[in-house]
Structure 1
Amino acid sequence: MKRYVPEGMPESLTYPEGPLGAVLAGSARRYPDRIALRDGELTVTYSELYVSSLRIAQALRERGVRRGETVALHQPNSAWFTVTYFGVLLAGAVVTPVNPALPPLALRDQLEEAAAVAVFTHPSTRAALDKADVAGLRLTVLVPASDAAPAPADADLSGTPLEELLKTDPGAPEGVSGDDVAHLSFTGGTTGRSKAVRVLHRNLVANVLQMGSWRGAARPVSDEPGYIHLEHIPEAQTPHTLAIGESTAVALAPMFHAMGLVSQSVSVATGLTVVIAGRFDPRKFVRLVAEHGVNTLPGSPALFHSLLALPGIEDADLSSVKLVNSGAAPIDTNALKQLHGLFPNACIVEGYGLTEATMGLTTHPLLRDNPVPLGSVGAPLFDTDLEIRELGCGPVVPTGGTGEVWARGPQIADGYEGHPDLTAEQFQNGWLRTGDIGRFDEDGWLYLIGRAKDMLIYKGYNVYPGPLEELLHQHPAVASASVIGAPHAAAGEIPVAYVVARPGQVAGAELAAELTEFVGGRVAPYQRIREIHFIEALPVSAAGKILKTELRQRHTASAPQD
Structure 2
Amino acid sequence: MARDVSQADWPAMSLAEAFARLTGPGSRFEIGEEEIRGRRTRVWRRIPRNLAELFEGSRRFGPREFLVYEDDRVTYEAFRRASIHLAERLIADGAGKGDRVALIMRNLPEWPVAFYGSVIMGAINVPLNGWWTGPELEFGLADSGARIAIVDEERLARILPHLDACPALERIYVARPSGPLPDDPRIASLDAVLGAPERWGDLPDAPLPAVAIAPDDDAAILYTSGTTGKPKGAIASHRNICCTVAAAALPGMVNLLRCGQPVPSDEAAAAMAMTGPQRVNLLAVPLFHATGLTGQLVLGLNAGARVVLMRRWDVDQAVALIEAEQVTATGGVPTIAWQLVERAERGGADLSSLTGLTFGGAPASPELVRRIAANFPRAVPGSGWGMTETCAAFAMAVGRDYSGHPESAGYCSPVCDLQIRDPEDGTTVLPVGATGEIWARGPQVVRGYWNRPEATAETFVDGWLRTGDIGRLDAEGYLAIVDRAKDMLIRGGENIYCLEVEHALHEHPDVLDAAVVGRPHPTLGEEPVAVVHLRPGGRVSAAELREAVGHRLAAFKVPVEIRFWPELLPRNANGKVLKAELRKLFVPAGGA
Alignment-mate amino acid for residue 163 of structure 1: D
1:377-456 equivalences under 5 Å are 377-392=409-424, 393-456=426-489
Task: Write out per-residue CA displacement over residues 126-153 of structure 1, whole angstroms, 9 at most, x where no aligned residue.
Answer: 21121333512111111237xxxxx7xx
Corresponding residue for 2:288?
256
Distance change (3 Å), C-alpha of 1:399 and 1:237: farther
SS in 1 for 2:472: strand
Task: Write out per-residue CA displacement over residues 453-501 of structure 1, whole angstroms, 9 at most, x where no aligned residue.
Answer: 1111122222111110000111233221111122222111211212223
Counterpart pick for 2:106 among 76, 93, 99 = 76
SS in 1 for 2:409: strand
2:83 matches 1:53: yes
Query: Quick check: 92-101 or 439-448, which moved more?
Result: 439-448
Percent of aligned pairs with the same amino acid: 32
Counterpart pick for 1:500 among 533, 541, 545 = 533
SS in 2 for 1:124: helix
Corresponding residue for 1:267?
300
2:226 matches 1:181: no
Q: Is the 8 A contact 1:216 1:244 kept in 2?
A: no
Query: Quick check: 374-383 or 417-426, which moved more?
Result: 374-383
Corresponding residue for 1:163?
191
Counterpart pick for 1:199 among 211, 236, 239 = 236
Counterpart pick for 1:9 among 22, 40, 47 = 22
Q: Is the 8 A contact 1:185 1:196 kept in 2?
A: yes
Alignment-mate amino acid for residue 160 of structure 1: A
Q: Is the 8 A contact 2:402 2:408 kept in 1?
A: no
Deviation at 1:400, TM superposition (A): 1.0
2:172 matches 1:140: yes
Deviation at 1:371, TM superposition (A): 5.2
Query: Quick check: 292-301 or 109-118, which moved more?
Result: 292-301
Q: Is the 8 A contact 1:209 1:269 kept in 2?
A: no
2:135 matches 1:105: yes
Q: Is the 8 A contact 1:126 1:156 kept in 2?
A: no
Q: Is the 8 A contact 1:426 1:432 kept in 2?
A: yes
Corresponding residue for 1:128?
158
CA distance in 2, matches of 1:307, 1:319: 12
Task: Write out per-residue CA displacement over residues 3-22 of structure 1, whole angstroms, 9 at most, x where no aligned residue.
Answer: 46479522743145632111
Alignment-mate amino acid for residue 9 of structure 1: L
Task: Write out per-residue CA displacement over residues 492-539 of structure 1, whole angstroms, 9 at most, x where no aligned residue.
Answer: 1211212223344567xxx22222222123222432322222222422
Deviation at 1:58, TM superposition (A): 1.0
CA distance in 2, matches of 1:34, 1:123: 30
Q: Is the 8 A contact 1:207 1:410 kept in 2?
A: no
SS in 2 for 1:125: helix
2:552 matches 1:539: no
Alignment-mate amino acid for residue 74 of structure 1: I
Distance change (3 Å), C-alpha of 1:102 and 1:370: closer
Alignment-mate amino acid for residue 197 of structure 1: A
Deviation at 1:434, TM superposition (A): 0.9
1:208-357 equivalences under 5 Å are 208-214=245-251, 234-235=264-265, 243-245=272-274, 246-262=278-294, 263-310=296-343, 314-357=347-390
CA distance in 2, matches of 1:14, 1:447: 29
Distance change (3 Å), C-alpha of 1:478 and 1:217: closer
2:407 matches 1:375: yes
Task: Write out per-residue CA displacement over residues 357-397 of structure 1, whole angstroms, 9 at most, x where no aligned residue.
Answer: 111111113x3685532221111124121111111204121
Alignment-mate amino acid for residue 481 of structure 1: A
Distance change (3 Å), C-alpha of 1:16 and 1:451: same
SS in 1 for 2:405: coil
Corresponding residue for 1:21?
52
CA distance in 2, matches of 1:118, 1:106: 17
Could you list the runs of 5+ residues in structure 2 that have no partner in the other structure?
A: 1-12, 25-30, 32-43, 196-202, 256-261
TM-score with structure 2 setting the length: 0.83
Task: Write out per-residue CA displacement over residues 207-242 of structure 1, whole angstroms, 9 at most, x where no aligned residue.
Answer: 233224545889xxxxxxxxxxxxx96158999x99
Distance change (3 Å), C-alpha of 1:356 and 1:89: same
Distance change (3 Å), C-alpha of 1:216 and 1:54: farther
Task: Write out per-residue CA displacement over residues 23-62 of structure 1, whole angstroms, 9 at most, x where no aligned residue.
Answer: 010121x222222212233222222222221111110011
Distance change (3 Å), C-alpha of 1:371 and 1:307: closer
CA distance in 2, matches of 1:164, 1:284: 31
Distance change (3 Å), C-alpha of 1:155 and 1:75: farther
SS in 2 for 1:59: helix
Q: Is the 8 A contact 1:496 1:532 kept in 2?
A: yes
Alignment-mate amino acid for residue 10 of structure 1: T
Distance change (3 Å), C-alpha of 1:340 and 1:411: same
SS in 2 for 1:364: strand
Q: Is the 8 A contact 2:441 2:464 kept in 1?
A: yes
Distance change (3 Å), C-alpha of 1:78 and 1:157: farther
Distance change (3 Å), C-alpha of 1:242 and 1:504: farther
Which structure shows the higher helix fraction? 2
Q: Is the 8 A contact 1:212 1:269 kept in 2?
A: no
Task: Write out per-residue CA displacement over residues 145-164 of structure 1, whole angstroms, 9 at most, x where no aligned residue.
Answer: 7xxxxx7xx89687322233
2:208 matches 1:172: yes
SS in 2 for 1:500: strand
Distance change (3 Å), C-alpha of 1:86 and 1:523: same
CA distance in 2, matches of 1:320, 1:127: 40
Task: Write out per-residue CA displacement over residues 416-435 of structure 1, whole angstroms, 9 at most, x where no aligned residue.
Answer: 11111111111111111111
SS in 2 for 1:209: helix
Distance change (3 Å), C-alpha of 1:313 and 1:37: farther
Distance change (3 Å), C-alpha of 1:211 and 1:2: same
**Alignment RMSD:** 3.0
Aligned length: 535
SS in 2 for 1:416: coil
Deviation at 1:303, TM superposition (A): 2.2
Task: Write out per-residue CA displacement over residues 59-95 of structure 1, whole angstroms, 9 at most, x where no aligned residue.
Answer: 0011122221111111000111111110011121111
Query: Quick check: 241-250 or 517-526, which moved more?
Result: 241-250
1:472-483 equivalences under 5 Å are 472-483=505-516
2:578 matches 1:551: no
